[in-house]
Copies of this chain bind each other. A is one copy, B any other.
Amino acid sequence: MSSQLKPGTSNACNITSLSLACEVNDVLRSISPRWKMQILHKIAAGHVQFSTLKQAFPSLSDQILGKRLGELVADELILKVVVKEKPPQHIVYEITDRAMELLKVIDDLHQWGLKWS
């Protein structure tokens, strides 16, 4: 989860701030990189391979996709699984329970956005 969050970079986290502050900030930073939640959403919707994700987002480059997938794995939001059965050996990404719960909140955020737009 904290892979891309270097200590000190995020917040002052001093005692004068509310406890809410730091953790929320960290969560926001981990979910806000461009494409990240969209990719997660697509994986949840069944686009579980690199190539199918590529097709789903034509304007997303291989490089960024690879990077985001790496972050999602580090965050334990997805699992990288190598499928050896079924001859053309391939890699699939599986969503975790942790991610499913996050997506519920993300969807609430989406609903809020729609409601007040």
Contact = CB atoms under 8 A, between A and B. Distances in A.
Interface of A: 1, 11-12, 14, 16-18, 20-21, 23-29, 31-32, 34, 37-38, 41-42, 45, 56-60, 98, 101-102, 105-110, 112-117
Contact of A110 (B24, B59, B98, B109): B24
Interface residue SS majority, chain A: helix
A107 B113 CA distance: 16
Given A17-B56, A108-B105, A25 B37 contact: yes
Contacts of A116: 1, 98, 101
Contacts of A1: 116-117
Contact of A14 (B58, B106, B107): B58
A45 B18 contact: yes
